[in-house]
Amino acid sequence: MSALRSASAHWARAAIGALAMAGALASPMAAARAQDNVPPDVIRDTEIEAILHQEMDPVFAAANLDPKSVRVYVINDPDPNAFTMSGYNMFVTSSLIMLTKTPDELEGVLAHETGHMARGDVAHSAMMGHVALGPMIAGLGLGLLAAVAGAPEAAAALIYSGSYFGELNALAYSREQEARADQAAVTYLEKAGYSAKGLVDFFNNLRYQEVFDDVRKYKYFVDHPLTDDRIEALTVRAESEPHWSAKDSPQSIAAYDLMKAKLKGFLDRPYQTFAEVPETDKSFDARYERAFAYYKELDTGKSLKLIDGLAAEQPNDPYLYEQKAVTLLETGKAAEAEAPARRAVELKPDAPLLRVLLGQVLLAENDHAKLDEAIMNFNRALILDGGSSQASPDTSLGSIAPLAWQYLSEAYDAKGMGGMARLAAAEQNFNLGQMQDAAILAVRARHLLQKDTPEWRRATDIILASKPSPQELKALGEVG
């Protein structure tokens, strides 16, 4: 792990932190998912996303895709799967990451999905039909901090807003499309200097799945049908390429191991972590994993002690400071959380989740003098996460926009700026697709905002986007 961390400037990462009240939510979440009533968690972890991008950006470039336009998200789901959606959005479940054995295997699977993305193989499917798009952000580093910050209604809206987003338009492919995506993956991996052996190994390790019926198969192989002919064609092509024997670099292995340790530390139950990663294991990854287990077990003293020890060894790791700030904030120590939150942003200023965290800390301190800085950080986070501060509805999983707008509404309200507070609340509902509520709040904002200002016009736009009735349009026209 020291190789990875000593090269942190090259292996850019952005934070995982922890899901607020993760331990308390674990059992209800499992029960709800068993009934297919609650969408899986979208893990908005910028550290893991950055590791995935570090590995996959050369593949995206080889496919003539702009790496900055491709978003790779991890979904907390026990069923291994990977798929793409329109808009250059790629998704991989945490269980599929855990199922792979090497960086090459994961790169191969995602290169295959890149083949679908580059070819535009988009089709309606029941593949992830039980998944709604309400952004239940299990953002390790963002999480459900709305609840912790005293906004349970906002947290509930984020969790249960699947009615707006509906079901995923995910990808299911014919065997022909699958074979073409395999061949495209080999091409992209080869151009990137990677071996396609990982994809071959992944399929060979799991080819026994083909004998199961669809009920017993991993979802991935239901939607990505695997056949002997397909594996044979892939193997013949991959073995003929110059990079067939290329090995994973030490840096790639270190980043891959860190990602899996972090996911396990957050997603596994604490007793499982303590059993599998004993105190005698003093490696960086092991201590990091145990820090999350203690955090989930609400033993914040031990968690902070581990984080402080890791930060002493790696003082330029922003995610250690981020996790410390999250822990302190959640235990009611906002003033103590400010310094590590600031340090995290200082080290990684372009990470939107870190900006949101710093804004939360400043807001929680109830210091009027710090509200402007909090507002600035929330707005900056919105921009960094892929849209302006006046974003249109985001139909991608994991958008931080609704939560950022919620905090902006609170901050403006604390400053006594009622019009801006209601406009921000309207933006939150607009991003959630709750158009009627958005329109009501936008009407209230218009009454409080100065006429013909950009904010007043934005409130008007939200009202018009809610498809008002002719009578409502007439009333709107009468007041400008």
Tell me how many degrees the CA angle 189-195-196 measures, rounded to the nearest 5: 70
Residue 8's CB is within 10 A of a number of other CB atoms, namely 14
Bridge-based pairing state of the strands 41-43 and 71-76:
antiparallel
Q: Find the helix or strand (DSSP H, E) in which 461 lies.
A: helix 454-465
Could you give the CA distance from residue 145 to residue 322 in angstroms, rounded to a whole number? 13
pTM: 0.76
Q: What are the distances in angstroms from CA 162 to CA 37, 76, 294, 406? A: 10, 16, 32, 18
DSSP H or E stretch at residue 41: strand 41-43
Amino acid 225: pLDDT: 63
pLDDT of amino acid 172: 47
CB-based contacts of 71, cutoff 8 Å, min separation 6:
49, 88, 89, 90, 386, 396
Give the pLDDT score at 192: 97
Closest among 412, 424, 426 to 463, alpha carbons compared: 426
Cβ atoms 141, 15 nearer than 8 A: yes
Distances (CA, A) of 413 to 274, 407, 431, 439: 44, 10, 20, 19
Find out if CATH 1.25.40.10 is the number for domain 280-478. yes
Query: Per-residue confidence of the chain (480 residues) as pLDDT tens digits?
Result: 333 333 322 222 233 333 332 222 222 223 233 334 444 578 888 789 889 999 999 999 999 999 998 989 899 888 888 888 877 889 999 999 999 999 999 999 999 999 999 987 654 333 333 333 333 444 454 433 434 444 445 444 444 443 333 333 344 457 778 889 999 999 999 999 999 999 999 988 887 655 554 555 566 666 666 677 888 899 999 999 999 999 999 999 999 999 999 999 989 999 999 999 999 999 999 999 999 999 999 999 999 999 999 999 999 999 999 999 999 999 999 999 999 999 999 999 999 999 999 999 999 999 999 999 999 999 999 999 875 434 443 344 567 888 899 999 999 999 999 999 999 999 999 988 889 899 999 999 999 999 999 999 999 999 988 887 777 666 666 555
Residue ranges of domains in the chain = 2-250, 280-478
